[in-house]
């Protein structure tokens, strides 16, 4: 069972399966323009349905501007079927290292109790491992469309997560890791 709504929760979502860039085009523009595959679109929808079933409505979504992450967000929101949360496209998420992703997360509005970050591997997987290095389920790999839900660590002081600036490794622990 997930913690109550008045507890801070972080949701990391790796974009769903995308199609490959055109053959021989290794440019950033081609990579940013990669859309979801049909199975990726279905997976994004399932992510939203899973979040709805588990009462995980994000207050704010921090999303990479890549087409595949935006389409994952759109499909997830469709599956969520709830009021659209605040969504912020953050160019600093694309190809980001874990430290940059954590810095992005730490800028989330203080009133937001549930924050979702939609990004890419390997950064999102590495961030998940840094947030909870003891979570063995993360060793399975952060597949496209995978969701990791983090909650405050049981030993973390309650005052430590009064806002998202306090979200640092070892202050949260993995609650759920799934690929709906």
List the chain domain ranges: 10-178
Interatomic CA distance for residues 162 and 140, integer angstroms: 31
Please give the CATH number for the structural domain made up of 10-178. 3.40.50.1240
SS3 14: strand
Confidence at residue 85, expressed as pLDDT on a 0 to 100 scale: 85
Interatomic CA distance for residues 117 and 61, integer angstroms: 6
1 contacts: CB under 8 Å, gap ≥ 6: none
Confidence at residue 84, expressed as pLDDT on a 0 to 100 scale: 77
Q: Which residues in 22-60 are b (16+ Cβ under 10 Å) and which e?
A: eeeeeeeeebbebebbeebbbbbbbbbbbbeeeebebbb
List per-residue pLDDT tens for the chain, 180 residues long: 454 556 889 999 999 999 998 888 889 999 999 999 999 999 999 999 999 999 999 999 999 999 999 999 999 999 998 777 889 999 999 999 999 999 999 999 999 999 999 999 999 999 999 999 988 999 888 999 999 999 987 665 554 567 888 788 878 889 999 998
Confidence at residue 124, expressed as pLDDT on a 0 to 100 scale: 96
Answer whether 0.85 is exceeded by the pTM.
yes
Interatomic CA distance for residues 14 and 179, integer angstroms: 10
Inter-axis angle of helices 38-53 and 67-80, to 10 degrees?
Answer: 40
């Amino acid at each position: 069972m997930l913690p109550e709504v008045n507890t801070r929760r972080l949701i990391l979502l790796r974009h769903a399966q995308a199609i490959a860039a055109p053959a021989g085009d290794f440019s950033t523009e081609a990579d940013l323009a990669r859309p979801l595959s049909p199975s990726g679109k279905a997976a994004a929808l399932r992510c939203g349905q899973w979040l709805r079933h588990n009462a995980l409505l994000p207050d704010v979504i921090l999303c990479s501007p890549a087409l595949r992450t935006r389409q994952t967000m759109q499909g997830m929101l469709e599956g969520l079927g709830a009021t659209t949360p605040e969504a912020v496209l953050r160019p600093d998420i694309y190809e980001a290292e874990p430290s940059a992703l954590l810095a992005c997360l730490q800028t989330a509005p203080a009133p937001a109790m549930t924050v979702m970050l939609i990004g890419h591997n390997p950064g999102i997987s590495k961030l998940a491992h840094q947030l909870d290095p003891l979570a063995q389920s993360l060793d399975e790999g952060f597949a496209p469309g995978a969701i990791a839900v983090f909650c405050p660590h049981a030993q973390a002081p309650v005052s430590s997560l009064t806002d998202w600036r306090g979200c640092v490794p070892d202050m949260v622990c993995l609650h759920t890791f799934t690929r709906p």
